[in-house]
Amino acid sequence: MTTVALVVGGLLAVASVLYVALPFLREPAPREDRLDEPGTLERRALELAEERDRALGALKELEFDHRTGKISDDDYRELVGPLRRRVAEALHALEPRAESNEERVRASG
Amino acid sequence: MPELGRAALVLCLGLALYALTAGAYAAKTRRRRLARSAQNALLAAFGAAMVAAVVLLAALLRHDFSFVYVAEHTSVELPTPYKISAFWGGQEGSLLLWLMILTGFSAAAVAFGRRSGADLLAWVVPVLGLVTTFFAFMLVAVSSPFDTQVAPADGAGLNPSLQNPYMMIHPPFLYLGFVGLTIPFAFAMGALLARRTDELWIVTTRRWTLFAWTALGIGQLLGAHWAYVEVGWGGYYAWDPVENAALMPWLAATAFLHSVMIQEKRGMLKVWNMLLVILAFCLALFGTFLTRSGIVSSIHSFTQSPLGPWFLGFICLVTAGSLALVFSRLTLLRARTRMESLVSREATFLYNNLLLVALCLTILWGVAFPILSEAVRGEQITVSAPYYNFFLRIFGLPLLLLMGIGPLVAWRRASLRSLGRSFAWPAAIGLLIGGALLALGAGSSRAGLVAYTFSAFVLGSIGYEFVRGARARRALAGGSWLNALSELIARNRRRYGGYIVHASIVLLAIGVVGSSAYQTVREARLEPGQSMTVAGNRLVFRGYESRRRPNHLAIRANVDVYRGGDYLGRYRPGKNKYFAEDQVSNEVSIRRDWLTGGDLFLIADGIHDRSVDLKALVKPLVNLIWISGFIFLAGALVTLWPSAAEQRRLAARYRELRPLVRA
């Protein structure tokens, strides 16, 4: 029993070590070994995309709540304007235009 | 094969240590291959933990008493299902279950997380590695399930109260919940370490948190039902520290699931959400510490336990380290928006959060106080049910009310006119039912009457939300009411799944109030032929019968039950005498009435030569508690079910960024 245990244990250890070493065995000399990392620009763009999704979600929610009667017409009129503006601003900041995206994203920050 | 089990655990420890150190170094120095290697180490650790688990399970099934653990928790005559549940019946086995689930979840989180940001995952791996290292170390060096001895002829057997089918599933569910909370914690800490305080960690862990929370909730209900049918005292929850150990992280996770929606929808409460994730995880660790260190019975058993000081040290390390990390990233976590009104959906979520956390910390104080009093003054002061029940009423009733108010209030702000229109129907339903119950005599318990009035209001509010939503969908797309309803749920699973969960909590509350505030209890010593009456039921004792089973002697008191002139059947409460364990267990008999939802609960408290000490409890509506479990699960599944539209939106969000920025 001990021999079987030793063999199985040994195989398990070797398999684990090989699996852990796999990234190095597959790419012994890679051209680059850097982890992808969002830069300041990408982080800002992500913030804008989140803001856009948040604004779109809020607008959708407002429309639905108005349709169900949870929001009165007066409240709806008061709330919908600023929300639409937020959506437009977020979309504007992210949409491709002639000017450099880099400049645009920077400008929106 | 204990050597194989030990070797697998040592290997698991080595791999976890590698994931921790190499993973942290790779994340810090931005090395891609090393980060990938650390991820592979976590995946391999799962394989090693599985091998260790298989070795222990094989030893249990083969009743290999050369394993100390097997000899201490099983016997030759123990039925096979309980040999399997003996895996988590003792300290070492339950720690191995923790490790197995933890490495399994870590492997899955790594495998799925590879689709999300590599920089975030790079920091998640060392956090998971740290927790895995701790548990693997405990199993290797402090509390091993693979200690051996000269095999005795038979084992000590399993605690009789654990010989119940619920013990096959209750602990694994709790552990799925406890361990599952590690994943959101690891991603939250990973996000702070990677300085990625955007929504990615929330999006990645949303389903993990929901899954852990659901498992913990179901696990607690299974535990409550086990206590009800097996422990034999007539209740289902005793505010026992071990029960509270599961309730506290569940309450913290409930608060997190609500407040995280405010972060997603409004970009607020980022610090609060981090604190809630830390609280939920630390309470999950604290729960395991409570049940495994022996500290609950006495501070002395804690100091004698090899496990306790290690656990306490690790909890302190995790708490201090994670709070320091949050503090160091405060500027990144600052919200850019403010709450617009105190009468809004987000405000009700905030109130709900404060109440949930207050209830959670109150329970924590109730659990910690006896330990602290014994440590400081040398005497253990017990905090018993009245303390918890008082605070349950103080925080629980407003929480119940908020479950009805929340759905009726719009995001951002709500005017009085809108509120009046939304509240009219649900409030009328609540007041009508409250008034009717008062007229029927439910005023004997004021808290009970208030709880029922609030419950009616909440159910009215939830029903009204479904009706208004389905009506709006029909107006938009036509079709039948059923189609509109299913479309409504499918288009917003989180909202309507959440409402279903709320409905289940209301049913739970109705069941708890009915079976505690309005229960009837009678006790009497009866000779054969004598009877007693409880809430209109006449109970006649007809004498004993006994049967010998493979591992116990079953003694039963035959009790015939009559209501009016009708014979309702024979019920057999009694006791089991277990041979190997040399223990006696109470075996209750329950007459379930599905029509009223109540139970007639019989306990043979004392068994004498001819007479029986019979205790009878009538527990109105108690079965709503168990039914609520199915509704809770259904609601949780609705919220857990992936939404294709949301997946597309999120995929587009993360896909479109690179070309956009690099254009």
Q: What is the DSSP string of B142-205?
A: IS-TT-B-PPPSS-----GGG-STHHHHHHHHHHHHHHHTHHHHHHHHHHHHTT--STHHHHHH
pLDDT at position B660:
45
pLDDT at position B656:
65
Share of chain B above pLDDT 70, in %: 96
Q: What is the largest CA-CA distance in chain B?
A: 92
Higher-confidence residue of A77 and B118: namely A77
CA dihedral B40, B42, B44, B45 (to 10 degrees): 160
A25: amino acid identity, one letter? L
**Distance between CA atoms of A14 and A17, rounded to whole angstroms?**
5
pLDDT at position B303:
53
Residues 403-422 of B with CB under 8 A from A: 408, 410-415, 417-418, 421-422
Q: Which of A1, A20, A74 sits opposite B18 (nearest CB)?
A: A20
- For residues B512-549, one letter each, b for 16 or more C-beta atoms within 10 angstroms of the residue's C-beta and e for the rest, the string is bbbbbbbbeeeebebeeeeebebbebbbbbeebeeeee
Mean pLDDT to the nearest integer, B264-278: 92
Q: Which of B414, B415, B472 sits opposite A68 (nearest CB)?
A: B472
Share of chain B above pLDDT 90, in %: 66
pLDDT at position B146:
94
Question: Confidence class of residue B658 from pLDDT cuts 50, 70 and 90?
Answer: low
Angle between helices B200-226 and B182-193 (to 10 degrees): 160
pLDDT at position B646:
75
Which of chain B's residues have a Cβ under 8 Å away from the Cβ of A15? 44, 47
pLDDT at position B662:
39
What are the φ and ψ backbone dihedral angles of B273, each rounded to 5 degrees?
-65, -40
Q: Is the pLDDT of residue B154 over 70?
A: yes
Residue linked to tokens 């289902």: B236
Which of chain B's residues have a Cβ under 8 Å away from the Cβ of A94? 660
Mean pLDDT estimate for chain B: 90
Interface contact flag, B47 A12, Cβ < 8 Å: yes
pLDDT at position B4:
92
DSSP state of B594: T
Q: Which of B119, B414, B471 sits opposite A36 (nearest CB)?
A: B119
Which of chain A's residues have a Cβ under 8 Å away from the Cβ of B37? 20-24
Of the candidates B423, B427, B451, B425, the residue with the CA atom closest to the CA atom of residue B437: B451
**Distance between CA atoms of B333 and B518, rounded to whole angstroms?**
48
Mean pLDDT to the nearest integer, B449-463: 96
Mean pLDDT to the nearest integer, B565-579: 91
Interface contact flag, B265 A58, Cβ < 8 Å: yes
Question: Confidence class of residue B663 from pLDDT cuts 50, 70 and 90?
Answer: very low
Q: Give the model confidence (pLDDT) of B282-334 as tens digits.
A: 999 998 888 777 666 655 444 556 788 888 899 999 999 999 999 999 998 88
pLDDT at position A98:
47
Q: Does A57 touch chain B (CB under 8 A)?
A: yes
Q: Give the model confidence (pLDDT) of B575-624 as tens digits.
A: 999 887 788 888 999 999 988 899 999 999 889 988 999 999 999 999 99
How many other C-beta atoms are found inside a 10 Å radius of the C-beta of residue A77? 11
Q: Is the pLDDT of residue B536 over 70?
A: yes
Which residues face B533 on adjacent strands? B538
For the ranges B112-116, B226-230, B597-601, which has the lowest average pLDDT?
B112-116
Which of chain B's residues have a Cβ under 8 Å away from the Cβ of A105? 661
B493, B645 contact by CB (below 8 A): no
Q: Does B17 touch chain A (CB under 8 A)?
A: no
Q: Is the pLDDT of residue B107 over 60?
A: yes
Mean pLDDT to the nearest integer, B385-406: 94
pLDDT at position B644:
75
Residues 450-479 of B with CB under 8 A from A: 468-469, 471-472, 475-476
Residues 32-51 of A with CB under 8 A from B: 32-39, 41-43, 45-47, 49-51
Question: Confidence class of residue B13 from pLDDT cuts 50, 70 and 90?
Answer: very high
List, in order, residues 6 or more apart from B556 with CB less than 8 Å away: B544, B545, B546, B547, B572, B573, B574, B587, B604
Q: Is the pLDDT of residue B362 over 90?
A: yes
Interface contact flag, A16 B44, Cβ < 8 Å: yes
User: Distance, in angstroms, between A85 CA and closest chain B CA?
Assistant: 16
Chain A CA closest to residue B40 = A20
Chain B CA closest to residue A45 = B657
CA angle B13/B17/B23 to nearest 5° reads 145
B581: amino acid identity, one letter? E
Interface contact flag, A45 B661, Cβ < 8 Å: yes
pLDDT at position B200:
85
Q: Give the model confidence (pLDDT) of B61-102 as tens digits.
A: 998 999 999 999 898 888 899 999 999 888 899 999 999 999
Q: Does A84 touch chain B (CB under 8 A)?
A: no
Instruction: Name which of A66, A70, A94 to mutate to probe chain B: the one with the most chain B Cβ atoms within 10 A of its Cβ.
Output: A70
CA angle A92/A98/A104 to nearest 5° reads 45
Question: Confidence class of residue B394 from pLDDT cuts 50, 70 and 90?
Answer: very high
**Distance between CA atoms of B152 and B67, rounded to whole angstroms?**
10
What are the φ and ψ backbone dihedral angles of B252, each rounded to 5 degrees?
-65, -40
**Mean pLDDT by groups of 10 residues along chain A of 109 residues:** 83 95 90 81 82 88 88 86 87 67 56
Q: Does B295 touch chain A (CB under 8 A)?
A: no
